[in-house]
Amino acid sequence: MPTAMLATQTTVLRAIAEYGATRTITYHSRLTEARIRARTSNAAASLLPGQLPQV
C-alpha cells in the first residue's frame, strides 16, 4: 500500500472515530484507486492503536 494512501486512510479513520461518523463519501480521480482504498481500509485500521471503526 502506498504511503500517501495509508496516510489519507489513517486521517479518515481517525476523523470517523473522533466524530462518530457512520458513513463517509470520498472522491477519487481513478476508479482503480477507489477500489484499492476500499480493499485496504480494514488493513489500515488494524495498524492503528485503539478502537477505530472497521469499514
- Domain layout of the chain by residue ranges: 3-46
What whole-number percentage of the chain has pLDDT above 90?
A: 9
Q: How far apart are CA 11 and CA 25, in angstroms?
A: 14
Q: What is the pLDDT of residues 21-32, one digit of tens each?
A: 988 888 888 999
Please enumerate in sequence order all residues whose Cβ is within 8 A of that of 12, keeping only pairs 6 or more positions apart, or say none.
24, 26
Residue 51 has pLDDT above 80, yes or no: no
Q: Which residue has the higher pLDDT, 50 or 40?
A: 40
Residue 55 banded pLDDT, cuts 50, 70, 90: low
Q: Which triple of cell numbers denotes residue 14? A: 481517525
Q: How far apart are CA 26 and CA 15, in angstroms?
A: 13
